[in-house]
Each structure stands twice: as C-alpha cells, then as structure tokens.
Amino acid sequence: MSYALAAMLILGGFLWRSEGQKRVYRNYIEAGWERAFASLSADLTEIDTALKKARNTSSPALLGEAAAEVWSRAEDAQLSLSALPFSEWLLEDTSAYLGHLGDYARALSREAYRGALSAKEREGLSQLGVTAASLNSRLLVLQAELDSGGLTLGRLAAAEGSLPQGESLLGDRLRETEDEFPELPTLIYDGPYSESAAVGPARLLEGLEKVSEEDAIRAAAEFTGIPEEEFTVLGRSEGTIPALLLEAGRVTVRVSRQGGKVVDMVDAEGGYDGGLSPEAALASARKFLAARGYPSLRESYWTKEEGSLLVSFHHQEKGVTCYPDLIKVRVDLEAGKVIGFDAQGYLMSHHARAFPPPIPAEAARQAVSPSLKILSEGLALIPTEGKQERLCWEFKCQDGEGTHFIVYADAATGEEVKLLYLLEDENGTLVL
C-alpha cells in the first residue's frame, strides 16, 4: 500500500506538472493570437486613416507618403490575419482585399509624381476606403470585447471544435463585413518588372555632362514639337533621376539634368475615347518612339483606361527582350495622339550587354510543368532580387482551363526561376 500510494503521488505530481505546462502553453498560444488580432486591428485603423489622407490631399509628396503607408500596413495585416485561429479560406475575401489594397497603393505610390489623382483613381480609393472603414469598425468592436474580458480567442477556438466543418465563430463574425465589400477597382498594369530599376544610378546617363536650362528647354521642344518660347521652368526635382520640370500649356516634361534626356511627359489635354482600336493606338505609339530615337522596342502588355491606352515597351536586342529597359507610352483613343511618356526604367537600366550563349530551348522546356501547354517561346532578360540581370527562356503557356501563364527558365541551367499569371480581359493584361 505504501508503494502504491507513493506511485500515485508521483503520478499525480507528473499529471499536475503536465497540466500546468499545458496551461502555460495554451496561455502562450492565446497571447500570440491576441497579439496578432491587436496588430490586425491597429493596421486596419492606420490603413483607414491613410486612405482618408490619400483621397483628400492635393500634394504629390503626401499622396506618395500615404500610399506607401497603406502598402506597408496591408502587408502586415495579411500576416496578422494568417496567424489567427481559424481556417484561412473562411476569410479569403478579406485576405484578397488586403492583397489587392497593397498592390493598388503600391501602384499609386509609384505614380504620385503625376500630381492630382484622376477621377478613376479617386473613385478607386473611395471604394477601398469604404471597405477599410467597415472592416476597421467591426474589428474595433471585437477588440473592445477582447480588452474587456468578455471574449477570448482561445474560447472561440475551442468552441469551434464542436461546429460543423466549414463554420467558424470568429470567422463568421468577421465574414459579415465581406458581404458588404464593394467591387474592387481594377489595377493599372505597369509591366511585370517595372520596379526593377527603382534605385541606383541611371546607367544610360553615366558619364554625360550636365545641361543648362536652355538645353533642357531645347530637348523638350524637340521631343514634343512645341516651340521653345512656350516652355517655362517650374523647378527642379531630385528623385531617382534629378531633372528639370518644364511646362508648356497643359504639357509637362521632365528633362534629366545629366545628359538632357526626356524622363517623362504628360499631356493633360488628351484622354478621350473616340473608339480608336488598340491596334491603331499601338501603331501610333510605335511611330512616336521610332521618331524619337527608340526603334528597337517591342510592346509587351497594354491596359485600356479612361479613354487612353497605356502600353509597356521593352528594348529588343539580338532576339532578347530586355525587361529592365522599360518605356511606357499612353495614347489617346480619340485621335491617336501620344499624351504620356515615361522612360525612367529605360534610362535607369539600358546599357551595352554581352549575352552568354543559352542552352537549347528544347532543354529549357523541361522546366515547364506538364499541366501547361507552351504557346510561344523566346529569350528574355529579367531582373533578379539583387538588382542583377538574368538571361532566361520565356515560355508563354496555357493550362487546361485556358488560363495563361509565363514560365521563366534560366538560360544557363534550365532551372525554373519565375512563374507569372496573366489576368486578361478586354481592357488589357494584369501580370501577377
């Protein structure tokens, strides 16, 4: 009996210790959930505030700052959402909203130098703002319940174990907001590698002399066909490429202070949809570029919006599409007039290149999934995460449902290095 009693006491001690460890572990897990929820709530509050600022500011600098804040907070909110104790698919619309919001804000932050928002961009921000405010309001109510002790994520997670598969107490409370989501605005596609040359010196301008204001005006006049005397100097911009900002009527032009190259041009007089076809607009854009010394460019993707066609062109050399060397052209769909030009990517990245001999296309095709049918192939130069360049075989493919993808296989090793999904409709192509 003594030995049995001792054994029972020892076993009881182990069980008590085990239960204590479980309580500590449960408390630790629940504390992590509550931190994630508090972080999600704080991120949505900041997103709501930043969207309000972005919708109502007339300053390009403040617009860019607010858009960058939304982008950063949206990414953080997605991470916090994924850490909460319910199935991810229960809140797939919320997760998709946060991802779309981040992408849209990132696009706006890049375009902030254009100044005032267009009507479509302001409408898009308004729609996103309504959703953010609704979701934020719902989260604040739940956060207050958590703070008061009337609700714990641990109890909710435990109670969900007795629910039918596919149901969630906390998930369903948040999903009420998803039923109120408006249709999300369409992203303006800017090219799959448009961010590759955001930092560093402009390679095409290296070694060139600085130009005077008179030289910059002369360059702008030659580029636009507007007489020199109509241009005035509005100021200087430092930015990625230091430039002089010039204006002639409703046309604004930035000319690089080093080399006197036109960085970008915007004509506010265009943007009317007169029914011009995309093919005719593309022909107008190609003619415009060739006349200004850019003959070796090939269009890759375009987006139709607000009475205009925005086209991404990339440098072609020795049969290789050089994606870092990007020029964007916007064409009015009434008269086929070019009303927008952006060569920042080209100026930042273009330089003399020597391409290593690639492996045969037949060998590179082995990297493509058997579930995809190859529609076309060619060589392409793409940027890497480390701001280097990689020569690849580029395969445009189609799956069994007719969805298009682009597969990139390293032209030296045949290894698959990138897969892009093409979202296509009558208004253009979005690459994800």
pLDDT tens, residue by residue, 244-260: 999 999 899 999 999 99
**C-alpha distance from residue 233 to each of 40, 267, 268, 356 (Å):** 46, 16, 18, 45
Q: Which two tokens stand for residue 277?
A: 């076809």
Q: How far is CA 242 from the centre of its chain?
A: 24
The pTM of this model reads: 0.58
Give the pLDDT of the chain (432 residues) as one tens digit per residue: 676 666 565 655 555 555 555 554 455 455 666 777 778 878 888 888 788 777 666 556 667 777 888 888 888 887 777 776 654 444 566 777 787 778 777 777 766 655 556 666 667 777 777 777 777 777 777 667 666 665 555 555 554 444 444 444 444 555 555 455 444 443 333 455 554 444 568 899 999 999 999 999 999 999 999 999 999 998 887 778 899 999 999 899 999 999 999 999 999 876 666 788 989 999 999 999 999 999 889 998 888 877 889 899 999 999 999 999 999 999 999 889 999 999 999 999 999 999 999 999 999 999 998 889 999 999 999 987 656 899 999 999 999 888 889 999 999 999 998 888 887 777 777 676
Specify the pLDDT at position 117.
61
For 226-262, the DSSP string reads --GGG-EEEEEE-SSS-EEEEEETTEEEEEETBT--E
- H or E stretch covering 395: strand 389-398
Cα distance between residue 407 and residue 370, in whole Å = 12
